[in-house]
């Protein structure tokens, strides 16, 4: 039982191989009658096209490469879910590359991906290395940068401003009465840095910034880490009355640690997360967070690519800012400045 090839199908129907190929690739060029017969023969023989042969002959694949810095991070699983959802009704496949937050690995993976002549590429963030940018710029397929918007797009872009989002969250905390806000950050990647910048600038403008109320670590963020970072921070700086977290894992850890210390939330400590993972709304008390449109970002990034691939000259917006929303919940529901300050 040898592999079934196009030629076998063609022989069975009594046409040439190329016609079968056409029936699959561009059915509108083949008569209805033949299409039906060919479809039947394919089913009967159990023919499955060989993607390698197709790629070699046509010089392109139906693979969309996706470069993300982490497969573990909850944020990216939401984005990926959106992508898988969008890819499903199409004929394209997704191929994931994990850069582990390393520009070097990003370059290597990019080289591998480009050698496969992908139909499109998704790449995370706007901080590619010079080499990576050059490779991307000379690529012949459409490219989307996700997670962030910024100047100098390589091709397309969908995301939001991390600076603005953090600034808005910080304003929310200050408006709620915080005079001693803190920032807790893990894995300070470029996006996190920009969030911190938004926090810092906003605090400075309100005259409430202190470098003492900042704790960061290069480790990847976890709930446990949030708890222990906060434990450190609060023992050094007991005056802290609000925390803006890099992300929701940390925020949840801080919530647990605060509960352990019997700190009243929000009365003694306000907590604000980032990303608005599902669990924040149901925590006790519910935790304020910055909602980012991760699922939509994933879905639309693929949709943008597919549209561009199938219709290269159509006019379509190439840069999409999805924005964000500060979702205010009980963990920051304090009014006015704290008593006695």
Q: Kindly list the residues in this chain that would bind DNA in the complex (CB under 7 A).
A: 3, 5-7, 14-19, 21-22, 24-25, 28-31, 33-34, 47, 49-50, 53-54, 56-59
319-321 vs 324-327, strand pairing mode: unpaired
Counting residues that bind its own copies (by CB under 8 A) gives 44
H helical segments located in 185-265: 190-206, 223-236, 248-260
For residue 271, the cross-strand partners are 243
Site for its own copies in 228-267 (CB under 8 A): 249, 252-253, 256-257, 259-260
Q: Are 334 and 177 in contact (CB under 8 A)?
A: yes
Nearest to 100 by CA among 76, 131, 81, 136: 76
User: Do the Cβ atoms of 268 and 333 come closer than 8 Å?
Assistant: no
d(CA 58, CA 7): 17
- Closer by beta carbon to DNA, 7 or else 71: 7
**Identity of the residue, 59 or 340, whose beta carbon is nearer to DNA in the bound complex:** 59
Q: Which is nearer to DNA, 61 or 247 (CB)?
A: 61
Task: Name the residue nearer to its own copies (CB basis): 109 or 144.
Answer: 109
- Minimum CB distance to its own copies smaller for 282 or for 314: 282
By CB under 8 A, residue 116 contacts its own copies? yes
From the list 10, 157, 233, 283, which residue makes contact with its own copies (rule: CB under 8 A)?
283
Q: How far is the CB of 2 from its own copies (least distance, A)?
A: 12
Contact of residue 30 among its own copies, DNA, none (CB under 5-8 Å per partner type) = DNA
Using alpha carbons, select from 79, 52, 75, 54 the residue that is nearest to residue 66: 79
* Shortest Å, Cβ 89 to DNA: 20
| Residue-wise DSSP of 140-185 | SS-EEEEEE--SS-SSEEEEE-HHHHHHHHHHHHHHTT-SSEEEEE
Total Cβ atoms within 10 A of residue 161: 18
Please give the residue ranges that form the binding site for its own copies (CB under 8 A): 48-53, 55-56, 61, 71-72, 77-78, 80-81, 84, 93-96, 98, 111-112, 114-117, 222-224, 227, 249, 252-253, 256-257, 259-260, 278-279, 281-284
């Amino acid at each position: 039982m040898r592999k079934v090839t196009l030629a076998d199908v063609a022989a069975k129907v009594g046409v040439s191989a190329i016609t079968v190929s056409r029936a699959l690739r561009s059915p509108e060029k083949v008569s209805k009658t033949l299409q039906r017969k060919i479809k039947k023969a394919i089913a009967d023989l159990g023919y499955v096209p060989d993607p390698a042969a197709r790629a070699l002959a046509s010089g392109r694949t139906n693979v969309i490469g996706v470069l993300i810095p982490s497969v573990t991070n909850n944020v990216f699983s939401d984005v990926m879910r959106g992508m898988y959802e969008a890819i499903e009704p199409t004929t394209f496949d997704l191929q994931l590359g994990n850069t582990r937050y390393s520009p070097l690995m990003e370059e290597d993976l990019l080289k591998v991906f480009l050698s496969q002549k992908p139909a499109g590429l998704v790449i995370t963030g706007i901080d590619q290395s010079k080499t990576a940018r050059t490779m991307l710029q000379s690529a012949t397929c459409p490219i989307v940068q996700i997670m962030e918007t910024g100047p100098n797009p390589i091709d397309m872009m969908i995301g939001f401003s991390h600076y603005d989002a953090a600034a808005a969250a910080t304003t929310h905390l200050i408006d709620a009465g915080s005079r001693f806000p803190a920032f807790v950050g893990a894995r300070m990647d470029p996006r996190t840095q920009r969030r911190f910048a938004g926090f810092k600038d906003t605090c400075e403008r309100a005259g409430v910034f202190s470098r003492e109320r900042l704790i960061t670590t290069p480790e990847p963020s976890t709930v446990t880490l949030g708890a222990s970072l906060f434990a450190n921070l609060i023992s050094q700086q007991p005056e802290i009355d609000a925390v803006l977290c890099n992300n929701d894992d940390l925020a949840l850890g801080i919530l647990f640690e605060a509960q352990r210390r019997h700190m009243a939330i929000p009365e003694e400590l306000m907590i604000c997360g980032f990303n608005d993972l599902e669990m924040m709304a149901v925590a006790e008390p519910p935790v304020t967070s910055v909602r980012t449109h991760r699922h939509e970002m994933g879905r639309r990034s693929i949709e943008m690519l597919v549209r561009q691939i199938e219709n290269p000259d159509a006019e379509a917006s190439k840069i999409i800012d999805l924005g964000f929303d500060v979702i205010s919940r009980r963990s920051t529901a304090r009014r006015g400045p704290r008593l006695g300050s």
